[in-house]
Amino acid sequence: MIDIPCPICQTPVLLPFPHACPHCLATFDGLLGKGTSAFQVRNSREHRDLLYGQNVQLYRGREYNCSFDHFGEANLPDLVRYTLSYGHRATVPSNHGNVPMVVIAAYIPGAIGSGVSKYSTAGPVPASGVMLVSPASLNYAHSFPVLDDYVRHKFATTLGGCGLCMKPTGFGHGICAECYAKCSGTWLDFL
């Protein structure tokens, strides 16, 4: 059996991660776009431009931004569980650079939103990855779709591994191609 630590209480939980931690009962509302702090409300809105019929914006001088589309939003509870279960963890500095933040990233084989970058003139590009930021924080936990360019830029030297067979993979690719081929064809099979 494979287990991972709960981001809140650090107690091992068997895969796949449930909708709530069986030990501390954390439900991860902030990661589901249901956080209530001013920071979470603002971030939730900024990562849902497409749902409000707007183009994806680069807010407050950011280099990248992504928005969930309707598929990503509808599947967000399972995307969060999949990312908690099979995503790769790293620590990065906050936007202000003064606080280390835990992030967890995972890709699924399909678009869940789209995003823009100040480094690309191609316009919005599909996003198939999910980034969970500060999952243990009550006031700052949030999630967003993530662009491949962002992951390549921020995590170029960070390696990952398959959550099932431990074979080396790129950062955010929590299930290797061989293990994925054994399922019936959808990432939901791993939940």
Instruction: Give me the chain's average pLDDT, please.
Output: 91
Which residue from 27, 143, 32 is spatially nearest to 77, judged by alpha carbons? 32
Q: Is the pTM of this model over 0.85?
A: yes
95: which DSSP letter?
T
Structure confidence at residue 1 as a pLDDT band (50, 70, 90): low
Domain residue spans of the chain: 18-181
CA angle 131, 132, 136 (to 5 degrees): 165
Average pLDDT over residues 167-174: 94
Q: Is 164 exposed, middle or buried (0-12, 13-18, 19+ CB in 10 A)?
A: middle
pLDDT at residue number 184: 76
Q: What is the pLDDT of residues 16-59, one digit of tens each?
A: 999 899 999 988 899 999 999 999 999 899 999 999 999 998 98
- pLDDT, one tens digit per residue, over 150-161 is 999 889 889 899
DSSP state of 61: G
